[in-house]
Every structure is written in structure tokens, then in C-alpha cells.
Amino acid sequence: MKSLRISDEQRRARLGRRHLLAPAHRATTVEDVADALVALHATDAATVYLSACARLAEPSTAEVERGLYEDVTLIKLLSMRRTLFAVSREFAPYVGSSTARAIAVKERAAFVKFLQDGTDGGWDEERLARTEAEVLEALAARGEATTAELAKDVPALKETIVVSPGKPYEGRQSVGSRLLRLLASDGHVRRARPRGSWTSSLYPYARVPQLPEIDVREAKAEVARRWLAAYGPATEADLKWWTGWTLGDTRRALADAGVTGVELAHGAGVVLPDDLDDEPAAEPWVALLPGLDPTSMGWRGRDWYLSPDHVPALFDRAGNVGPTVWSDGRVVGGWAQRAGGEVVWRPLADVGRETASAIDAEAARLAAWLGGVRVTPRFRTPLERELCA
């Protein structure tokens, strides 16, 4: 039955199915996971793997690497909220045109100013363009290379920038590290398979074809539609926060997406017009999700799935969520991996014996596919640190 009021219970009921967290709804490919969640957080090298494998029927780092580095069907873009995300190749042009391109323009302007203010080498836009061309030529010849390897071909990459001049924490940063980041933001290069294990952040770079350009307004509307299909119903503020768009752009995208207004427990919300039917809850499910997981970070307003009392234990001071334990659409605890590889968890609410047993089984499933690999979150939170002690 269609209703213009959608309860918190109904919002939680949708998560198990739409976010592929209930066992019967897990995916077979990493591309299916990325599309179901719209985008996978990729700031932390391990998060893409942990988020994907939590939702794969057969968790496998090889499956994630296939998408990222072999078939290159997942594309990493500096995009929403100026954060690195991995999105499917088919969806990447919409993310690029709606968000990443504008961020790249700002990144370039900031970098040019940074070069002019912080180096002794007389950098200007002309020299930057010449150096970029040399880097791309060297990268084409090598196939893939780290910043240090490219600096052997393009010595200008070895020059350094003064960071925070005059401050007690003043330091220097190489031009190369910032310039490769800029080329990646512009869509000229991508991160290739890291040197070392899948948890490593030592990436070589490789050339990549430019993404097709889509009309910005059309692209924003498509991003809004896909996000609401996965995260709706939600509020205007949720989408504005998730994308990093202005309020005007957010409202225009929602209008272009043809959304319908609904009443939520905490105020007005929006939903796609064909998404008003109540959905039955998926079978009982539990999940151990990593720090910065898309489900945990999917909304600005989180009270319907996360008790405010649990925030100090599960988030760092910058607002980054750590590893969380979920049960039937609610965050009920946190987890961590100890030095020996053991996955441990702690409830923050009464979960009952049956749910606790299910969480133990999911922790064992996680430990099994990790196979002894030790993963430390990039952004550590109070509960995660306690559990590791």
C-alpha cells in the first residue's frame, strides 16, 4: 500500500535488501556491489575490499582486484565531498560531470597557487602544463610507474613545496605527489595495482581514457536518482551532505529527478515516485562493516539507525565512522582486528543470545577470508582502539 509517511522501521527494512547485507541478497560481482551502493569509499585502501566482501556471497580480494585493476570496471574518482570513491565504469561519467570535474578545477587553481607561493623554482601555469605533458609521455612509455619512478624521467617532480610556512609544523612536500594527484583528479591517470598487498597505499599510476562528458544538470539528476534508489527515503539535507553540492544544486537535482515528498519520523523527506510501497523486511541479518563504509556514512541524519549515545565510541573527532556491527538495520556495536588477526567485537546495545551468535559467525566469516591479513583503519576510533589493546 502506498503511503506518504515512511517509518524508521520501513527505512531499516530496506537496508538488508538494497545494501546487499542480508545473506540472501548478497552479490556475485564487485560491480554489483558498487552500483547497489552508488559508490564505495576509497580513501582508505582497505575499505573498498572490506565493504565489497561484506556484501559478496563469496568474499574474495581477487574479485575486487579484478574490478579495480584487471578489467578496470571500477573507477576511482575524487568526487562527492572531495572524497575518493570507486564507482562502476558505466556510472563514472555521471559522477565525473556532476561532481569530480568541478573539484578538479578547484584542485588545479589551488595547486597553481601552492606552487607559486611554496617553491623556489619559478613555477607558473605554463611550466605546470609542460611538466604534466612530460609525465604523461613518461607514463605512456613505462605503462605504469610510481611517482618516484616517474621522477627519474621528469626531474621537476623531485622539487619540493613548503607546507605551512612559518608555522611550528612547517614541512616540505614533493611536487610529484601533488601533481600526480592533480592528473588523477583531471581523469588523465588512475591508480594501478598497489605494490605489496591489497592493504598497501603505494600505488603506481597508469594512463586512462578520458571519461565522456555529460551535461552537468543531467548528470546531477542521475546521481540524485541513483542515490535515492539506494538510500531513499531521505532528506534534502542528506543528499546535500552526501554529494557536497550547494543547496541550490541539490534542490534542482531533486526536482529534475521528479521526486515525491514524504513524511519521515524526523521531518520532511523525499523518495522516488515509484518507491512508495512498503517493503517486507529481509530475513534477520547481521553485518560487520568497515570504517567509512557507504551504509554507515550514507546519511547526514543517522538517528534512525544509530543511537546518538554510540557516536563518541564509533566516530573520530573529524566525523569518520569506524568499524561497526549491524543487526537488522541498526548499528549495535563495533569491531576490530587484533595484532594476531583475531576479529573481536563489542555490543553497545542488548542484542540477545541469538543475534550475538550470528555476529560471532559473521566475525568468523570475516576472519576466514582475511586469511591472517592485518587491517588497521586509516581513521581510528575510540572503540576500535580499545578492542585492539
Q: What is the pLDDT, as a whole number, of residue 160?
A: 84
d(CA 91, CA 70): 18
The phi and psi torsions of 164 (rounded to 5 degrees) equal 55, 55
Query: What is the total residue count of the chain?
Result: 389
pLDDT at position 347 is: 98
| pLDDT of 371 | 93
User: Which of 117-131, 193-207, 250-264 ranks highest by mean pLDDT?
Assistant: 250-264
Using a 10 angstrom Cβ sphere, with 0-12 exposed, 13-18 middle and 19 or more buried, the burial of residue 129 is exposed
Chain segment 322-357, per-residue pLDDT in tens? 999 999 999 999 999 999 999 999 999 999 999 999
CA 320 – CA 314 distance, rounded (Å): 8
Residues 6+ apart with CB under 8 A from 259: 224, 228, 270, 271, 272, 273
pLDDT at 198: 93
> Which cell is 196 given?
605489496
Q: With a cut of 70, say whether residue 3 has pLDDT above it.
A: no
Across 259-269, average pLDDT? 95
pLDDT in tens, 162-216: 777 777 777 778 899 999 999 999 999 999 999 989 998 889 999 999 999 999 9
pLDDT of amino acid 142: 96
Confidence of residue 16 (pLDDT cuts 50, 70, 90): very high
Joined together, the cell numbers standing for residue 236 give 534534502
Instruction: Answer yes or no: are the C-beta atoms of 39 and 296 closer than 8 Å.
Output: no
Let me know: does 213 contact 165? Beta carbons within 8 Å. no
Give pLDDT, residue 115. 84
C-alpha cell belonging to residue 315: 566516530
Residue 194 DSSP symbol: P
Q: Are 313 and 382 in contact (CB under 8 A)?
A: yes
Q: Residue 119: its pLDDT value, please? A: 61
Instruction: Please state the domain extents for the chain.
Output: 306-388
Average pLDDT, the chain: 94
Which pLDDT does position 2 carry in this prediction? 54
Look up residue 300 and give its DSSP letter: S
Q: Give the Cα-Cα-Cα angle 230, 234, 235 (nearest 5 degrees).
A: 145
pLDDT of residue 281: 85
CA distance 382 to 232: 30
**Using 50, 70 and 90 to split pLDDT, how confident is the model at 358?**
very high
How much is the pLDDT for 337? 97
Angle between helix 216-231 and 236-243 (nearest 10)? 120
Q: Which residue has the cell 509517511?
A: 5
3-state secondary structure 104-122: HHHHHHHHHHHHHHHCCCC
Residue with the three cell numbers 569530480: 100
Contact 22, 16 (CB under 8 A): yes
Q: What is the pLDDT of residue 39?
A: 98
Residue 346 to residue 370: CA distance in whole angstroms: 20
pLDDT single digits (tens) 25-58: 999 999 999 999 999 999 998 999 999 999 999 9
C-alpha 82: how far from chain center? 10
pLDDT confidence of residue 118: 65
Q: What confidence score (pLDDT) does residue 1 get?
A: 41
3-state SS, residue 388 = helix
Nearest CA to 298 out of 100, 31, 41 is that of 41
For the residues 68-90, what does the mean pLDDT come to?
A: 96
pLDDT band of 107, cuts 50, 70, 90 = very high
Mean pLDDT, range 57-83, rounded to an integer: 97
Instruction: Provide mean pLDDT across the span 2-22.
Output: 92
CA 225, 231, 235: angle at the middle one, nearest 5?
Answer: 85
